[in-house]
């Protein structure tokens, strides 16, 4: 049975709502979901609990934007993403196999989220001068995206830089290409998380309790998906992103400071 406080349910509801919004209208909102989920569960369980929610949200993004994908741009990233995922899988295994009073994955998630926030802010300040425009940039973007999505489900800012910065994709093609990217690789992560749960049963990534939590959150993701489509042309994306960045930074700092006490 789930043993969550009212506060945890409210945080989970906000995370689910934001996840739906980010999948269909305002991509920057997704970074907030990661630290919010880590405030409900410990870092390891939060990673596994978030994945089914992401896959459910991906279905709406693919349904609405599937025709606009630029597949040739995804194909060139695939090998590097897979390489990053292998490294991320190794880190998940290593942290799960270690006996420690420190929740290393919470600490890593907090640091990764702060890194993604800094990348997002830097891109807003320096714009094109911050965007890599070389083969090395493609390799770095793919590898870091694969690692970040496997360890903490936080590859959004990296993919935004690659798709809209390096490739300068218009809005519809950006949404379609990113929708297929996240759908494909979130599905790919599911057997990885189940395998790691099987070989490290004392440190699971997915449990019956997290799946039950996900089931309760599905209506809020559905609400967020339609809300994202409605809000996109009606609100200031700049102000919305600013609020998301501030809240994400605060939650990430809490994850880090809790482990340093």
Q: Does the predicted TM-score (pTM) go above 0.85?
A: no
| Residue 21 located in a structural domain | yes
- Residue 33 domain flag: yes
Q: What is the pLDDT of residue 259?
A: 66
Both tokens of 122, joined, read 């830097």
At residue 34, the pLDDT reads 84
Q: Is residue 88 part of a domain?
A: yes
Calpha distance 254→223 (Å, rounded): 28
Report residue 87: phi and psi, to 5°.
-65, -45
- In which residue ranges of the chain is pLDDT below 50? none
182, containing H or E segment: helix 171-199
pLDDT given for residue 231 in this prediction:
75
- What pLDDT, on the 0 to 100 scale, is given for residue 53? 93
Q: Is residue 1 part of a domain?
A: no
Q: Are 155 and 149 in contact (CB under 8 A)?
A: yes
**Domain assignment of residue 96, given as a range:** 6-260
- Asked if the structure places residue 146 within a domain, the reply is yes
Residue 34 lies in a domain: yes
Residue 236 lies in a domain: yes
- What burial class does residue 104 get, using C-beta atoms within 10 Å of its C-beta: 0-12 exposed, 13-18 middle, 19+ buried? middle
Q: Extract the tokens encoding 92.
A: 């998940």
- Total domains in the chain come to 1
Q: Angle of helix 171-199 relative to helix 78-97, nearest 10 degrees?
A: 30
In a domain, 23, yes or no: yes
| 103-162 pLDDT tens trace | 677 777 778 777 777 776 776 676 655 555 566 777 877 888 889 889 888 777 677 766
Listed residue (176, 151, 31, 159) closest to 86, CA to CA: 151
Distance CA 122, CA 130 (A): 7
Answer for the pair 88, 241: CB distance below 8 angstroms, yes or no. Answer: no
């Amino acid at each position: 049975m789930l043993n969550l406080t009212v506060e945890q349910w409210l945080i989970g509801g906000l995370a689910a709502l934001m996840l739906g919004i980010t999948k269909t209208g305002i991509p920057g909102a997704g970074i907030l979901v990661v630290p919010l989920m880590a405030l409900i569960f410990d870092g390891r369980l939060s990673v596994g609990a978030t994945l089914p929610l992401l896959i459910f949200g991906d279905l709406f993004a693919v349904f609405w934007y599937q025709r606009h994908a630029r597949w040739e741009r995804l194909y060139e990233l695939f090998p590097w993403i897979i390489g990053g995922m292998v490294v991320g899988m190794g880190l998940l295994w290593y942290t799960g196999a270690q006996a420690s009073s420190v929740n290393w994955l919470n600490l890593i998630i907090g640091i990764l989220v702060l890194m993604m926030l800094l990348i997002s802010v830097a891109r807003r300040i320096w714009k094109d001068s911050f965007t890599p425009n070389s083969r090395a940039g493609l390799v770095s973007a793919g590898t870091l995206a694969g690692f970040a999505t496997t360890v903490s489900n936080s590859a959004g800012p990296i993919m935004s830089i690659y798709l809209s910065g390096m490739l300068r994709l218009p809005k519809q093609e950006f949404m379609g290409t990113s929708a297929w990217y996240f759908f494909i690789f979130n599905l790919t992560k599911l057997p990885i998380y189940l395998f790691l749960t099987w070989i490290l049963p004392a440190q699971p990534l997915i449990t019956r309790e997290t799946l039950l939590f996900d089931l309760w959150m599905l209506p809020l993701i559905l609400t967020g998906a339609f809300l994202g489509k409605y809000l996109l042309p009606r609100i200031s994306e700049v102000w919305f992103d600013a609020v998301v960045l501030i809240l994400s930074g605060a939650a990430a700092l809490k994850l880090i400071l809790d482990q340093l006490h």
